[in-house]
Amino acid sequence: MPAINLRGPPPGGRQGVLAAVLTPSHIGFLRPSRAVHPFQRGLMPALTPAQWVSLIRTVFAPAEGRDRGIAFLMDLPDDRVGDSPPWAERRKLVAQWVRDLAAARELHPWEVVLLAIPNVGVNNGELPGQVYLCPGERPPAHARDLESRQALPLEEAFSRWSIWLALTEFSATAPLKVAARRRGDFRAATMPGFSTDMIPALRLPYDEIHRRVVRLKELLDEAEGASIAFHFSSGACEGLFLDLRFRTAHASSGLLHENGSAGNLPSGESYIVPYEGERPGEPSRSEGILPVEFAGEIVRYRIEENRAVEVLSQGPASDEEARRLREEPAYGNLAELGLGVLDAFGIQPVGRTLLDEKLGLHIAFGRSDHFGGVVGPGQFSTPAAALHIDRVYVPSLQPSIPRVDCTLVMPGGREIPLIRDSRYVISFEGS
């Protein structure tokens, strides 16, 4: 096994590693059996109005005089992006929840509405300029059905409803983060790809989750780098160094109590954007080789200065990824180092990034401006091409890379072992 330099990239370059974009073709093998954890016992297959009210109060802490109502947002298939059974089921579920909450006014004082948009076709792409009100028993099933619905400018919708839940097919996290930060008068929980098998994660003790992700944020804030070693099932080992200088981490615990914020629900991660080299004369030190498994093929990206600049491997997936990098260089930006904590609470992967990334270490490519980075829609060929894709490192999701180690490099070269064999080795007690 080759030695891994945990202090940073040596002169002349180094070998490194990353892995795992989850595409629809991968979903079939991402559903392991689920052990019942104590936090999950006695759960029902869906949330009742009373449970929704409790969740909303926990996540958003609504306040009289400040909050103006709740908007549930869904996106719709069109002739370009066809429907799927999970997507259709999610829309039915959301519409039912909105009807139930709207009818249960004895439990809460909020106006509750359902809004719809045509899908934007890509995760974290820019949202359309208007939304459509969808009252009644039958929600629209296709984007063309919106022609008969009342349209409302998106900015006006933000001013009318201060709490948003976006249960969309394509993630709306980036545009909602940017809009919430810019306006400061609403907050949003984003739930892309939500499915009923994620409901157990909505019932976790979010105060304890908050404590853990704050501890990780504190460590990431202090760190100047992260050295990650990836151990392959073949016995090989490669490493990646991420430059964490000049950045502030984020704690995403699922608690969104203040306007101006947006984040995932379910949640439970701390994350940071690697330094992208925007300071004159100060290039990013992120460097390595990133292997990503696509349905059995390992695509190997060469990273320089926090960008994937070349695909070294050969094969159909490698050829496709090389084409994407040529056509969209901003796609190769390393946009996030994320550290999920929900694995400790017995949550298992479901084949959707919304939940799976909260289970352990993950790294993202693409857009970073919504997390405090500098790569946004303007760096892509068109705003519609902007995307943010996570690669999740959980053994059951990446069987070819069953073990991951991560060591934080602190000022002065001090090292803090963070993860060994895909498990945290720091203590969360007393944090």
Domain range summary for the chain, segments of one domain joined by +: 24-32+205-424, 44-200
DSSP secondary structure of 225-241: EEEEEEE-TTS-EEEEE
Closest CA to 201 of 57, 30, 22, 354: 354
Overall size of the chain counted in residues: 431
pLDDT of residue 29: 26
**φ, ψ of residue 151 in degrees (nearest 5):** -90, 150
pLDDT of residue 47: 82
* Residue 302: strand pairing partners: 289, 310
CA-to-CA distance for 250 and 256, rounded, in angstroms? 13
CA-to-CA distance for 420 and 167, rounded, in angstroms? 34
**φ, ψ of residue 279 in degrees (nearest 5):** -80, 130
Reported as type and span, the H/E element at residue 420 is: strand 415-420
Burial letters 393-429, b for 16+ CB under 10 A, else e: bbbebbeebbbbbbbbbeeeeeeeebbeebebeeeee
pLDDT of residue 431: 53
100-104 contacts, C-beta under 8 A, 24 or more apart: 100/48, 100/49, 100/52, 101/49, 101/52, 101/53, 101/70, 103/49, 104/49, 104/50, 104/53
What count of other Cβ atoms lies within 10 Å of the Cβ of residue 19? 26
pLDDT of residue 355: 94
**φ, ψ of residue 323 in degrees (nearest 5):** -60, -45
CA-to-CA distance for 171 and 263, rounded, in angstroms? 11
H helix intervals, 18-172: 49-60, 85-103, 154-160
Question: Does residue 103 sit in helix, strand or coil?
Answer: helix
DSSP count for the chain of H helices, then E strands: 8, 20
CA-to-CA distance for 49 and 139, rounded, in angstroms? 19
Say if residues 190 and 265 touch (Cβ distance below 8 Å).
yes
pLDDT of residue 21: 32
Q: pLDDT tens per residue, the chain (431 residues)?
A: 333 232 333 323 322 222 333 333 222 222 223 333 333 333 334 788 999 999 999 999 999 989 989 999 999 999 999 999 999 999 999 999 999 999 999 999 999 999 999 999 999 889 999 999 999 878 899 999 999 999 999 999 999 999 999 999 999 999 999 999 999 999 999 999 999 899 999 989 888 999 999 999 999 999 999 999 989 889 988 899 999 999 999 999 999 999 999 999 999 999 999 999 999 999 999 999 888 888 888 888 999 999 999 999 999 999 999 999 999 999 999 999 999 999 999 999 998 898 999 999 999 999 999 899 999 999 999 988 999 999 999 888 888 889 999 999 999 999 999 999 999 999 987 65
Does this model's pTM top 0.95? no
Q: How far apart are the first and last CA of the chain?
A: 35
Q: Side by side, which strands form the sheet with 187-190?
A: 151-153, 130-133, 112-118, 70-76, 163-166, 187-190, 262-264
The CB-side HSE value for 115 (13 A sphere, CA atoms) comes to 27
pLDDT of residue 258: 95
Encoding tokens for residue 426?
């720091």
CA-to-CA distance for 187 and 246, rounded, in angstroms? 27
Question: Does residue 134 sit in helix, strand or coil?
Answer: coil
